[in-house]
Chain A
Amino acid sequence: MTLFIQQLFDGLALGGVYCLAAIGLTLIFGVLRIPNLAHGALYMLGAYVTYFFLVTVGVPYVAAIGLAAVVLALLGVLMERLVFHPLRNAPHTHHMIAAVGAMFFFQAVAQALWGADFRRMESPISGSVTILGAQISWQRIVIVGTAVVVLGLLTWFVKRSIHGQTIEAIEQDRTGSSLVGISPSRVSMLTFGLAAALATVAAGLVAPINLLSPTMGDALSLKVFAIIILGGLGSLPGAVVGGFALALAEVMTSTYVSAAAGEGIAFVVIVLVLAIRPTGLFARAVQR
């Protein structure tokens, strides 16, 4: 029972990270209709930039994550301008190929700046608390708490604020939104910036638990795809539910079955879901 509770909290913390990363991806898909294969690379850079601010510059942990999020948001906007904007009328395969190029580039940058070796990021948040006999580290509680707060703010932003609402408008009807004066190009930039910032927050939170490496985004990239397929491409609540569901499934499988099975479950999910429903679970009518 103690083991189960321990794993439950681990799963929730991981779920918080997955949610934050997956929401960015699902937003980008909703607005631009492209699967951004470089999302995992943005996450990885987010972790390294957080590391840079925390260790090299020496600012406090929360500020480091915030600064890194700003840097990555700018990078996300730049990437939209330089890579995806010129391709907006190209066939869908070209976006994915370009994203792969960007992904390799980011990995090479991280390796050139910080080396290929694993790096450990010490968190200022230490200690743990005992809940129902299970030792839960504060770091994990902070992850879950931050995820909830950020998700709340994001929901407010998208549903209530005027700039956030433009994102939903573009998702629903691109032409219609242009007619009422919403610039699709500006919304694309906003979405990319937001997505990169969210991925950075996720990476900054989880970095003290995991190690940093230039390839840390690869597996995550595929997992967030599994999540947004599970939750429906472009759906925010879907990404949240999918994120927690996949994280719990992963943690439980690696505890009770085997580590390799836990690693592979995300891909099995993608294959099973798409084999049964080729347009994903909860897919809305696809608009072009």
Chain B
Amino acid sequence: MTTTFSPQRIGTVLVALALLAAPLTLGGEEYVLRVLTVGATYAIAVYGMNLILGLTGQLSLAHGGFFGIGVYVVGLLTTDYHWAFWPSLAVAVVATAVGGYVAGVVALRTHEEYFAIFTMAMGFIIFLVISRWESVTHAHSGVSGVKFPEGFGAVDFSEPIVMYYLVLVFLLGAAYVTYAVRRSGIGRTLVAIRTSEDLARSIGVNVGLNKQLAFAASTTLAGLGGGLFAAVQGFVGPSAAGIDLTFEMLMFILVGGLGTVLGPVVGTFLVLFLFEFFQDFEAYRFLVLGPIIVVLVIFAPRGIVGYLNQFVGRVRSRRANGSRNPGRPHDDRKAESTTDVKEAL
């Protein structure tokens, strides 16, 4: 961490440069730019999932539901109620933050698999309300004509490329929040809870409050991502709140690396790229992707970024130990779990 050219820092700069340069190198490919922008809104929500699942170790399956709340708050306020975009987005963020905190009060009384089942039911209820409450949400006909954000000065957000950079700003913000949380005492507290709630409690951690804050933060990012998604898409339907979306986000984060700072963005764009690649046989993509999820969980549960971090950590510790200890012991897993707290990016 002390050297300026640590591999992690170089990786971060590379990813940031790739994101910034992507629209320029694509030479005005509308479609690709659109995919990238949508991907960036997903990635913001995936950062939320990273906070609760990656750092705190709680599998929340209501994430797609909260994303949907963000989508529909912005979607409905800017169309049926003629609000401007920015106040609508603010309402979406506040609604998902408060909603997440209140839901967390009840949801976090449950543990482990009960928590997953509880949040799955919660997500499904949100989906049912959105897809059935015809008089408010228009049910399956969806919401069309969602407004673009209001520009200021020469900045016009109806330009796809400007919109892309706007979403990117929020994405970088989400990544920075994750980075800051990881480095702070809060991050270490959350990792302690992930490792063992009982142990964390025994050293004086307020487990309940910290989990609740992590959950509220995760739903807030889901709402923010959802709100931006609505503006990017212009037309939204109930599938933007579905349980399938939760599962897709789960795959994004798993591929990227749970609990890492770069994992969500790397995973999201990589898997979306694969989705586009398999687009011709869209319905069958899970013939390949389903087994990939299983194989990843079994053989590489730490994801791409997690794996790279582990590799860097191993090289570094080998260098530090000199020739004294050339080969690491076989149970790498335990050794990693202590190192990743300190240095994983």
A→B interface (CB under 8 Å): 33-35, 82-83, 86-87, 90-94, 96-98, 100-109, 111-112, 116, 218, 222, 225-226, 229, 260, 263-264, 266-268, 270-271, 274-275, 278-280
Contacts and interface: CB of A to CB of B under 8 A. Distances in A.
A268 B251 CA distance: 27
B122 A260 contact: no
Interface of B: 53, 57, 59, 106, 109-114, 116-118, 120-122, 124-125, 128, 132, 243, 247, 250-251, 254, 283-287, 289-294, 297-298, 301
A278 B294 contact: no
Contacts of A90: 297-298, 301
Contacts of B290: 101-106, 108
A267 B125 contact: yes
Contacts of B298: 83, 86-87, 90, 98
B283 A278 contact: no
A271 B121 contact: yes
Contacts of A93: 53, 57, 59, 116
Given A92-B113, A104-B286, A280-B114, A267 B121 contact: yes
B111 A112 contact: no
Nearest to A87: B298
A158 B121 CA distance: 31
Nearest to B59: A93
Contacts of B250: 97, 100
A33 B116 CA distance: 14
A93 B60 CA distance: 10
Nearest to B132: A260
A275 B120 contact: no
B117 A270 contact: yes
A103 B287 CA distance: 10
B22 to A, nearest CB: 28
Nearest to B122: A271
A266 B112 CA distance: 20
B291 A105 contact: yes
Contacts of A112: 283-284, 287
B301 A105 contact: no
Contacts of A222: 120-121, 124
Nearest to A99: B294
A94 to B, nearest CB: 5
10 contacts: A98-B297, A101-B251, A101-B289, A108-B284, A263-B132, A266-B121, A270-B121, A271-B122, A275-B106, A278-B111
B284 A279 contact: no
Contact of A278 (B114, B128, B254): B114
A141 B196 CA distance: 50
A108 B301 CA distance: 23
Nearest to B281: A112
Contact of A108 (B114, B118, B283): B283
Contacts of A91: 57
